[in-house]
Structure 1
Amino acid sequence: MIVGLIIACEVAFWVLLAAGLTFRYAFRMPRIGLALLLCEPLLEVVLFTVTAIDLKNGAEPDWRHGLAAVYIGFTVGLGHSTIKWADARVAHRFAGGPPPVRAPKYGTARAVHEWKVAGRWTLAAVVAMALLQGAVWYVGGDGDTGSLRAWQQRMLWVIGINVVIAASYTLFPKRRPEGGAGGKPLARTTPLSDHRGDDTH
């Protein structure tokens, strides 16, 4: 049930995003579009509530409950930037908006950009870890919380990897080639499966 709900929430996220942008730009109904986009956080509330009820009803905590906490955390940390990423591109393509801001490619600006990206991933992981810890406390010392602890360790790896990436751009900044065009590539933000590089914040 939990896994099915996570899949349903992921599908609903993109359906609401597409519907919100369609009403906002294609149908020229910005209020309805905004209302649909504001419904996105309700998905996490529903998932969190169902997960809590499942545990309260005596379900043994396992990887599914851990995955639910991780999904909520990553949506909190990265969902807003995904919406802004999509909104900027739809506005440019269909409503005459300015071109999407491109991520800096070289030097200090790129290092700052990478630290901002790392910050969003860290926020996602910290939220997930907090929810996982809440589940651990709820289960108590007599329950089997090994799967929840394992997810917390994975979140620490997520934080560590992102910090290492950002630090590498700080310690070894990428320099602009002499005589090069110096163009700036589009930010590397993609859907929830890969959010490194979003430059919409």
Structure 2
Amino acid sequence: MSIYLYFLFISLLVLIIFKKLLPSKRKLPPGPTGLPIIGNLHQIGGLLHSTLHKLSLEHGPVMLLRFGVVPMVVFSSKETAKEALKTHDLETCNRPKLVGNGLFTHNFKDIGFTHMIKINTYAIGRDPKCWTKAEEFIPERFSDTSINFKGQHFELLPFGAGRRSCPGMALGMANLELGLLNLLYFFDWSLPNGMAIEDIDMDEAGDLNIAKKVPLELVPTLHHW
């Protein structure tokens, strides 16, 4: 058994050396060095968007990662997001024909699966070139500006842009606004037990679905009409 493991180790080592020595036919973006088989999975922490932001500060706004053997290009700036979603949108919206996707889409005749391209809106939202005091929570910054969330301004892309924009944007905004307006219209809201705004914990938790680490607690007071 040890002979087979030794042979496998030597084979992987030779494969890595040849891959490093042979010139690549494709001009790929820079990125962190990965490991055989798993790629860069060992470098991804609990909060994906935060990890990608930290890696982009080291490797640049266009970065190549490998999740296993699957390559993923990460765009982390307003300018590169515009290039990917608007200027070169035809190249970034095609469908890789994977076996699993073909089974789920009736041989690619239904929903389209695209290449793994990640627009890191978390990093764009913390770019000092786009926002003043980018690390601070200042909702008033959107009051007197023409920037909106509909995909025309690449500083703010909650629903994406171009061919990669979310088709449910209008429905999502209607549901959000209706629910929020009802809560604000019928109730007054306050923090419990004399808690101050500065005491609110804004830490995050989760993996793909991000939520507050400590749930926000508010006390509603019904309006008297």
Report the structure, 1 or 2, having the larger strand content. Answer: 2
TM-score by length of 2: 0.32
Report the structure, 1 or 2, having the larger helix content. Answer: 1
TM-score by length of 1: 0.34
